[in-house]
């Protein structure tokens, strides 16, 4: 019998499923501190948690532990790297809380539109202020949804009865897929400018921190509403504070840098504050508990690893190729246009990498989308792409091409309706170094995908290289490395310049205009 510890107020369905299986002894105790519980049960095989912190000391106290299951999506409270060193698999239950969060968004919108909170307080004080609480209706309003993942799509589904117009922004959802769910895909500027309500459903990463900035806020309508049930850091708080003075924006918030008592920095600008209740429903708790139990059984009985978030690399695969897959994914996405929706993705794995193609899909998707964990399995990756309407094909390889241990990634992005753009990148590892060997028709490049890059494609003619170096020199930017191949079939040249600091957008624009660039971009890898 395998012992399972559940040190949290998780729905009893998890313990019921595990006990009914017949192979588990369950100890569920939400009152005893986890450290004491671990010390009392060092023979535990699995640990099922919600928001409890599973640090190295807890893992050390459980020498027979093999699995930690997070009944929920986020697992930042678990030391997954140390768990891997200890041979402990960490799993999560993504999507279990999606409906709860979607309904909370709508609850906040309705409560604010009809002044439910202040009106209740007023009546309890014996007042009767009907004129002070003249509300608004949701019917017919334009709702902008930033992020069309599980929660974003459910917000659309639940709001359909209000006859709203839906605008959506998600570069990883195809135009066709967005329209299938009733959303008109638009760019960020149009979404913020036209929406009566903007609801945020994106992760907080290095690239999304401060995502809702002064520029986007300045585009919003007077009296428009922002709903944030995602992550605190995606909003530039000082910018929102200033925008409210001018636009009289409404702000409904459920997320903070830390879940803890005490004053909140947004208290002065939020019209409704909630104590991170997005996932706090009986139903969400039940679904997360049920999935946690079934995932544990599937792992133990069938070896199903789809939801493991800290998988080690397979035996025989050099870890460097995992980094190559991630870096190529990131570069290809930048070249395809990070803000453009994707239509299709193709991969090829050559040489000794062919057997590991399914495993390498995770690192590639993590490079393309920052919030996709690189340790997710192939099934999770395929589901992720399918949900966003992105066609995926892992092509059979031609050994005769002679690409030993190489990875090719093709992305097809949507420039606009009816116009597509394909970007193809191939890379390998040489002398232990990651190398990009081809971009589209430009072969034998052999440059490392890292640092600050300036990439330009232009009609070949004399003097262009001098223009590029001249613009960089004028901006006090130093060149560290450069590749400048020419393709005789297309009469195009490619300039890849590694520089000592990021190239400003105005420098890129001026340079592109002078050389007649067909494409020009600054990339940080």
Whole-number pLDDT of residue 288: 94
Assess contact for 71 and 14: CB atoms under 8 A. Answer: yes
Q: Which of 234-243, 302-311, 448-457 has the highest mean pLDDT?
A: 234-243
Going by C-alpha positions, the residue among 437, 413, 412 that lies closest to residue 425 is 437
Whole-number pLDDT of residue 214: 96
Assess contact for 254 and 274: CB atoms under 8 A. Answer: yes
| Cα(327)–Cα(319) distance, integer angstroms | 13
User: Which backbone phi and psi does 293 adopt, to 5 degrees?
Assistant: -65, -45
Going by C-alpha positions, the residue among 399, 389, 325 that lies closest to residue 358 is 325
| Cα(464)–Cα(474) distance, integer angstroms | 15
Residues 440-447 have a mean pLDDT of 91
Of 186-190, 229-233, 373-377, give the lowest mean pLDDT range: 373-377
Whole-number pLDDT of residue 418: 64
Assess contact for 42 and 63: CB atoms under 8 A. Answer: yes
pLDDT classification of 216: cutoffs 50, 70, 90: very high
Q: Roughly what angle, to the nearest 10 degrees, separates helices 282-302 and 98-113? A: 170
Residues 326-330 have a mean pLDDT of 93
Assess contact for 286 and 259: CB atoms under 8 A. Answer: no
pLDDT classification of 151: cutoffs 50, 70, 90: very high
Q: Which domains does the chain have, with CATH numbers?
A: 2-95+282-302 (3.40.50.720), 98-273 (3.40.50.720), 313-450 (3.30.1330.90), 451-525 (3.30.70.260)
Whole-number pLDDT of residue 488: 87
pLDDT classification of 310: cutoffs 50, 70, 90: confident
Residues 407-436 have a mean pLDDT of 88
The model's pLDDT over 385-399, given as tens digits with 9 standing for 90+, comes to 998 889 999 998 877
Whole-number pLDDT of residue 341: 87
| Cα(498)–Cα(328) distance, integer angstroms | 16
pTM: 0.76
Residues 72-86 have a mean pLDDT of 88
Residues 110-114 have a mean pLDDT of 97
Whole-number pLDDT of residue 171: 85
Whole-number pLDDT of residue 316: 82
Whole-number pLDDT of residue 417: 65
The model's pLDDT over 264-299, given as tens digits with 9 standing for 90+, comes to 999 999 999 999 999 899 999 999 999 999 999 999
Of 45-49, 163-167, 334-338, give the lowest mean pLDDT range: 334-338
Reply yes or no on whether the pLDDT at 373 is more than 80.
Answer: no
Residues 372-381 have a mean pLDDT of 80
Alpha-carbon dihedral sign for residues 194, 196, 201, 207: positive
CA-based end-to-end distance of the chain: 49
Whole-number pLDDT of residue 27: 96
Of 38-42, 249-253, 328-332, 398-402, give the lowest mean pLDDT range: 398-402
Whole-number pLDDT of residue 468: 93
Residues 134-162 have a mean pLDDT of 95
Strands 342-349 and 407-416 turn out to be: antiparallel
The 3-state DSSP class for residue 71 equals coil
Reply yes or no on whether the pLDDT at 372 is more than 90.
Answer: no
Residues 192-214 have a mean pLDDT of 92
The model's pLDDT over 445-485, given as tens digits with 9 standing for 90+, comes to 999 998 999 999 999 999 999 999 999 999 999 999 999 99
Share of the chain above pLDDT 90, in %: 74
pLDDT classification of 207: cutoffs 50, 70, 90: confident
Whole-number pLDDT of residue 101: 95
Share of the chain above pLDDT 70, in %: 99
| Cα(368)–Cα(389) distance, integer angstroms | 15
Reply yes or no on whether the pLDDT at 374 is more than 80.
Answer: no
Q: Average pLDDT, whole number, for the chain?
A: 92
Residues 348-365 have a mean pLDDT of 92
């Amino acid at each position: 019998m395998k012992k399972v510890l559940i040190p949290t107020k998780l729905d009893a369905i998890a313990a019921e499923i595990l006990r009914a299986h017949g192979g588990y002894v369950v100890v569920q105790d939400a009152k005893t501190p986890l450290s004491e519980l671990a010390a009392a049960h060092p023979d535990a095989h699995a640990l099922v948690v919600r928001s409890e912190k599973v640090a190295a000391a807890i893992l050390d106290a459980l020498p027979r532990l093999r699995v930690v299951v997070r009944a929920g999506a986020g697992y930042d409270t678990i030391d997954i790297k140390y768990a891997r060193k200890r041979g402990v698999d960490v799993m999560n239950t993504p999507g279990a809380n999606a409906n709860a969060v979607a309904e909370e968004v709508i609850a906040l919108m309705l409560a604010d539109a009809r002044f439910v909170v202040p009106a209740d307080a007023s009546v309890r004080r014996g007042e009767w202020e009907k004129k002070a609480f003249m509300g608004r209706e949701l019917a017919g309003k334009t709702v902008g949804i930033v992020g069309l993942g599980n929660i974003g799509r459910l917000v659309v589904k639940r709001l359909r009865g209000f006859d709203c117009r839906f605008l959506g922004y998600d570069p990883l959802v195809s135009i066709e897929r967005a329209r299938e769910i009733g959303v008109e895909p638009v760019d960020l500027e149009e979404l913020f400018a036209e929406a009566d309500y903007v609801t945020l459903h994106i992760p907080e990463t290095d690239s999304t921190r401060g995502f809702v900035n002064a520029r986007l806020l300045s585009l919003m309508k007077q009296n428009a509403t922002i709903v944030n049930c995602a992550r605190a850091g995606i909003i530039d708080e000082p910018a929102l504070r200033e925008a409210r003075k001018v636009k009289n924006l409404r702000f409904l918030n459920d997320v903070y840098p830390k879940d803890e008592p005490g004053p909140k920095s947004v208290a002065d600008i939020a019209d409704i504050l909630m104590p991170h209740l997005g996932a706090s429903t009986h139903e969400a708790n039940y679904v997360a508990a049920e999935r946690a139990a079934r995932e544990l059984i599937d792992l133990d009985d069938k070896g199903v690893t789809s939801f493991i978030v800290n998988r080690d690399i397979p035996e025989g695969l050099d870890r460097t190729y995992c980094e190559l897959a991630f870096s190529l994914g990131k570069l290809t996405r930048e070249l395809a246009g990070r803000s453009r929706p994707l239509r299709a993705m193709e991969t090829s794995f050559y040489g000794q990498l062919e057997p590991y193609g399914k495993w390498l899909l995770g690192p590639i998707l993590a490079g393309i989308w920052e919030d996709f964990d690189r340790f997710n399995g192939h099934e999770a990756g395929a589901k992720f792409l399918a949900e966003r309407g992105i066609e995926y094909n892992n092509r059979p390889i031609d050994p005769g091409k002679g690409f030993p241990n190489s990875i090719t990634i093709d992305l097809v992005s949507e420039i606009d309706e009816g116009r597509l753009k394909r970007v193809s990148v191939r890379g390998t590892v040489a002398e232990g170094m990651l190398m990009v060997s081809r971009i589209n028709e430009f072969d034998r490049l052999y440059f490392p995908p890292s640092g600050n890059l300036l990439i330009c494609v232009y009609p070949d003619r004399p003097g262009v290289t001098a223009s590029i170096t001249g613009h960089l020199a004028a901006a006090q930017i130093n060149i560290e490395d450069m590749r400048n191949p020419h393709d005789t079939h297309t009469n195009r040249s490619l300039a890849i310049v590694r520089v000592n600091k990021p190239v400003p957008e105005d420098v890129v624009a001026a340079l592109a205009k002078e050389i007649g660039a067909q494409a020009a971009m600054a990339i940080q890898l």
